[in-house]
Structure 1
Amino acid sequence: MPMTARFSLMLLVVAACGPANPNAPQVSKEPISVRGWIVDVAGSPHAPFQTPETEAARRRQLFQSTYVDVENAPYVSGGIAENGAFILLDVPPGNITITFTAPGAPAARLVLKNIPGNADVFVPAMLLKPDSVALLEPKNVKVRLAATIERPTTTNLTANVAGLAVPVMNTPIAQMADRHDYPNPPAGLRPLATVK
């Protein structure tokens, strides 16, 4: 094989084995977790007869069918449970937009800003609205960082969760054990019987 052919072949192999797109989004080395629950979806279809049973069934089906997208994230694990609880792991830190798309309703966007790496963002009781979310329990929204300390303390950082300024808290590592679990929303109206 002539020398130019060998050189061309080596050049082709090097080009093929190189990075596909160095500017493409990468999985973060300091991912955050985003947890919480959805209470309901504004503008979603309702049954003609609204009873506790039909509402529970409507919400369960609605939550199971809701699609979640995290902008500029090549990979995110987690999802939405049938009770509306959600967990999203491997979310990149910084400024993030999470879009929830429920069937029959406009997309809702949860905008997070200034979220530090390795944080746990807890957003309880969200109402999905067209292009935004309503925080029904704003006092319970938390942004936590694991630290080797005795009790939770505030940092000098402030995050923004759906337009709400939230102080970032250093939290003892033992209290962060739930950051990879679905949260438990409070029990609402439950049907008398569930048929599968």
Structure 2
Amino acid sequence: MSEPDQPPAQPHGAPSQFSTAAPQPPAGPTHPSAGAPHSGAPHSGAPHSGAPYPGTHPGAPPRSSGTYADAQPRSARPDAASASGGSLGRVAFIVALAALGIGLLVTLSFPVAVRLLDDASAVGVFGAIGNLVVLVAAVVAVILGLMSVRRPGQQILAGIAIGISASAIATIVISWASNLVFALAYS
């Protein structure tokens, strides 16, 4: 386990993203299975980094306070990048839940609408308006979820929002298509 005050280790020979010096090629194989015969010396399991002190990298920048946040520019810090992606994913998730809730209310209130409204076309208009509201909310949630997935950061809520909304969209479109087919077949 690495210490919390050190930046993550770079693979040997890989250029550091902060280094201005040219990367140094490795002096030789770093692992016994890479072609060098095993010398019989005990192996700790970690490849030799060629750095003068353990836990440091030759191309690593000097640390000012020794924190991981100091080793990265402000735009590349996880807290700044994930704040916008995570909040957009959260909004997409909330809109998807709202669409799901509205769809549930429309479904549960449909028998009441049938009893209260005498005209069959009024019941159809009630269902169509309710499903249209759900469809619009679901499309907005899918768009917000897709925007959030393309940003760095936490994406689990955006994925859940895309799944909920895509299933709501598919359900409404298939329902409308089947109603249209039956209406045309029996008219």
TM-score by structure 1 length?
0.24
Structure ID, larger Rg: 2
Q: Pick the structure with more strand per residue.
A: 1
Larger fraction in helix: 2
How high is the TM-score relative to the length of structure 2? 0.25
